[in-house]
Structure 1
Amino acid sequence: MTIKSIVKRILKQIFAKRPVYTTANIVTLAPNELLNGRFAMITGGTSGIGYAIAELFLKSGASVCITGRNQEKIDDACNKLKSIDPAYKEHVYGMVLDSRNVSSYASAIDCILKLEGKIDILVNNAGVLGGHISSTTEEEYDNVLDTNLKGTFFLSQMIGKYMKKHQIKGNILNIASSSSLRPAVTAYTLSKWGIRGLTLGLAKTLAPYGITVNGVAPGPTATPMLMKGDRHNITHDGLPAGRYALPEEIANMALFLVSDMGKMVVGDIVYMTGGAALLTFEDMTYTF
C-alpha cells in the first residue's frame, strides 16, 4: 500500500466520521451441547474461517476433522484446538486432503468413518483467491475452479449419497462469498456464483431425505488469506460497516445453521458482508 493510498484512506475515514483504527467486540456462545454427539468434516480448517468453525463446533459438543493440503499446518491447528481444553483431545482429527483430487475422496472418507463411525456435518470451506480476467492463466483458472467449486460439488455428492444411504439427517454447509453477488471478472467470483447455485440445487435435492443444505456468504474477512495474520486493525473503509468481518462471527452463523435451531432454514445463503456487494461495490476495483 502506497503512502498516497494510506493518506487517502485516512482522510476518507475522517470525513466519513469513522475511526481510523477499528476493532470489534465479538460475542460468542459459552460452551454448550448444541452439537452434542455430532461429527463435522471441515475442509480448509487449518486457519481463518474453517478453524474458527472447528473451534466453535468443538465448544458446542461436536467432534471435528479438519482437512488441508499441508500436514504441518494440520498438525499445528489440531494441537492448537486440543490445547483449548483437555477434553477436546479425543474429539479433534486432521487429514491431508487436496480438494482438487476427487479420486482421493473415497479413501479419505473411509478413514474418517473409522475414527468416529459417522459424518453428519460437512462444511465446504476450502478455497483460494485469484484468476482476474486481465491476467490469469489457464493453470491458475483451473486451480481456483477445481479447489473452490469442483471440490465442493464432488465432496457434497459423496457425502450426500452417504447420508442418504445411512438415513442420516445431517447438514451440508457451503462457505460462499459476497463475490457471488458481484459482476464476475475473476475465476474466484465465478466459483462463488457456482457455490450459490449449487447450494440451492443441493438443498432442493436432499431436503426430502432430511439433509439440510445452506450457505454462509462472508464479505471481506480478517483471515490470513487477506490480512496476513494481522488482525489488530480491521478497518475497511470500502464497506458500509466500516470494517472486516471476523472469522468468529462467521462461525457463529455456521453453528446456528447446522444446529437444530436452524432446521427451517433450507437452501438459503446468509450474507454476512458488511454491505459488500449488497449495498456497495466500493471494496473492489474493476480494471482490465
Structure 2
Amino acid sequence: MNIKNYLKRAAHFLLFGIPEIHTTAHIVSLAPNELLKERMALITGGTSGIGYSIAKAFLYSGANVCITSRNEERLKATCMKLKTIQPFFEDRIYGIVMDNKRIADFPKKIDDILLMSGRKSIDILVNNAGVLGGDISTTTEDIYDEILDTNLKGVFFLSQTMGRYMRDNHIKGNILNIASSSSLRPAASAYTLTKWGIRGLTLGLAKVLAPYVITVNGIAPGPTATPMLGKDEEGDITFHTNPLGRYVLPEEIANMAVFLVSDMGRSIVGDIVYMTGGSGLVTFDDVTYRF
C-alpha cells in the first residue's frame, strides 16, 4: 500500500470512525438466453445509463426493443452502438423520438413502433425516462413542472395508453417502472416527489391491470453509476456513505429487469424491488438536506 492510500484510509477512519471500504464490483451479466424470446419492449429514455443497460439485457434475452429519446441524433447513435455489439441485435433494435411531456402523441407512437418494427404487438413497457432536480430550497415553478410532467405525468399517461392497448388486444404483458431509493426518503425535491408518485402508481396499476394478465412491478435503484449522476461505470464507483460502499451499476438493474418481465417473475405483482445498496433503506447519510 502506498503512503497516499494509507493516509486516505487513516483520514477516513478518523473522520467517520469506520475503516474505508475497498469496493470492487463483480457483476455477472446474463449470457444470451431466450427468456424474452419473440417479445417486444418499449423502453423510454434508453440512450444511456439504466435504460441503455436494460435495452442491451433485453436484446441478449431474445427481445425486440424500441428505445426512446427526445434527441434524434443521440437515438440513432445508440441504436448503431447496440447493433455493433452482437450481429443478432441488428434486426431487433429500433429507436423512436418521443417526449414524455407530449401525451397526445402516445397512441400514434405505438402505431409507429409497430409499423417500424413489423411486430404484431408490444408487450413490455419500461418507464425509465426521468430528470433530476427541483430542490425545494431553489426550484422554480417552471423547473417543478418540467420534472413532474416528465417523471410522473408522462409515466401515468403512457401507462394508461399502454394498459388500454394491452387490455384491448388481449396481450399478456408487463409494465416495469423505474422508481428510486428516493421513494423512501423525505420528499424535499420535485424529483423525490415524483418517485413517491411512481411507487404509488406501481401499486395502483398492478391492482387494476392484474385481472387482464398485465403484470406491473418496479425497481428502485439507489445511487447508480450513470451520466445522470455524473458517473461512469468504468471509473471510480466508490461511495463511502452507501452501506454497499459503492454506486450500483446499471447492469445490476438490467439483470433484475429481465427477471421481472419474464415468466419467472409472473407471480410478483405490484412489488418494488429495492436495489439501493442500503441507501434510503438503512441510511440517509448519502443525501444532504438543506433549505
Q: 1:10 to 1:241 in 2, by over 3 A?
A: farther
Query: Secondary structure at the residue paired with 2:196?
Result: helix
Alignment of 1:81-230 (within 5 A): 81-114=82-115, 115=117, 116-229=119-232
The residue number in structure 2 matching 1:250 is 253
Give 1:8 shift.
Answer: 8.5
TM-superposition CA deviations, 1:100-157 (whole Å, max 9, x none): 1101112111101212221000000000000000000001001111110011100000
> How does the TM-score come out when normalised to structure 2?
0.93
Instruction: Provide the C-alpha distance between the structure 2 equivalents of 1:26 and 1:180, rounded to a whole number of angstroms.
Output: 25
The residue number in structure 2 matching 1:16 is 18
TM-superposition CA deviations, 1:234-262 (whole Å, max 9, x none): 00111111110000000011010000110
Instruction: Provide the C-alpha distance between the structure 2 equivalents of 1:134 and 1:36, rounded to a whole number of angstroms.
Output: 48
- Contact in 1 for aligned 2:43/2:128 (Cα 8 Å): yes
The residue number in structure 1 matching 2:68 is 67
The residue number in structure 1 matching 2:4 is none
- Contact in 2 for aligned 1:23/1:232 (Cα 8 Å): no
Segments of 4+ moved more than 6 angstroms: 7-10
- Contact in 2 for aligned 1:23/1:233 (Cα 8 Å): no
> How does the TM-score come out when normalised to structure 1?
0.94
Instruction: Provide the C-alpha distance between the structure 1 equivalents of 2:247 and 2:237, rounded to a whole number of angstroms.
Output: 5
Which deviates further from its counterpart, 224-233 or 169-178?
224-233
- Contact in 1 for aligned 2:233/2:249 (Cα 8 Å): no
- 2:281 counterpart (263, 278, 282): 278
Give 1:10 shift.
Answer: 7.8
Query: Secondary structure at the residue paired with 1:90?
Result: coil
Instruction: Provide the C-alpha distance between the structure 2 equivalents of 1:175 and 1:183, rounded to a whole number of angstroms.
Output: 19
Instruction: Provide the C-alpha distance between the structure 1 equivalents of 2:33 and 2:26, rounded to a whole number of angstroms.
Output: 21
Letter aligned with residue 194 of structure 1: G
Query: Secondary structure at the residue paired with 2:202?
Result: helix
Q: 1:152 to 1:9 in 2, by over 3 A?
A: farther
Letter aligned with residue 202 of structure 2: T
| Contiguous gaps of at least 5 residues in structure 2 | 1-6
Give 1:228 shift.
Answer: 4.2
Identity of aligned residues (%): 65
Q: 1:121 to 1:10 in 2, by over 3 A?
A: farther
Instruction: Provide the C-alpha distance between the structure 1 equivalents of 2:261 and 2:69, rounded to a whole number of angstroms.
Output: 22
TM-superposition CA deviations, 1:52-78 (whole Å, max 9, x none): 000000000000000011111111110
Letter aligned with residue 123 of structure 2: D
